[in-house]
Amino acid sequence: MKFGDVVTAVASIAVLMVLIMFPLGFVLDQQTSWGVWTNEGISIFLSALIVGLVFAGKIWEEAHIRAILRIAVVGAVLFIFYLTIRFTSSDFISWIKEASPHPEYTATDWYYFDGIVLGLNLFLNVVLLLIVSFVGLYVGSLLRKPKESQK
């Protein structure tokens, strides 16, 4: 699988994820963290499943697991950029301050606390993406596994 194929697969996952996530957001309660995480997980899984089906031939050309890991890791890098932009918005930091049980923190305390919360959220989201996209790509590629040539 060439790097261009990996980039195309990742871009396809990103586009499908947005197309699935928006309508699914109407069904799931976006006011709770479980609704947001469920929406994200289902969207990643379904988009990775579809891309696994579409790119099954390319995935099976080289080592199956290696191709899937390449797609998942490049997707995680793209997701890190997206989350970094999203989590550094002023609304997210205001949410951290509002949810904190320690309103007496100094500016330095808030700086460290924000970094811890941002890092934790980034870590959890990337782990979720890696696991769910790997499973979706694996299942999707297995659904269109090439037939063994009989000699």
Tens-place pLDDT, residues 48-82: 999 999 999 888 887 889 999 999 999 999 988 88
Give pLDDT, residue 149: 44
Task: Answer yes or no: is pLDDT of 105 > 80.
Answer: no
Residue 151 has pLDDT above 60, yes or no: no
Provide the 8-state DSSP code for 148: P
Residue 91: pLDDT above 80? no
Please tell me the predicted confidence (pLDDT) of residue 52: 92
Q: Which residue is associated with the tokens 């269109």? A: 144
pLDDT computed for residue 57 by the predictor: 87
pLDDT band for position 148 (50/70/90)? low
What does the mean pLDDT of the chain come to?
Answer: 85
Residues 130-146 have a mean pLDDT of 90
Total number of residues shown for the chain: 151
Helix H segments across 28-106? Answer: 33-54, 56-61, 64-87, 90-99
Q: CA end-to-end span of the chain, whole Å?
A: 26
How far is Cα 43 from Cα 28, in angstroms, rounded to an integer?
Answer: 12
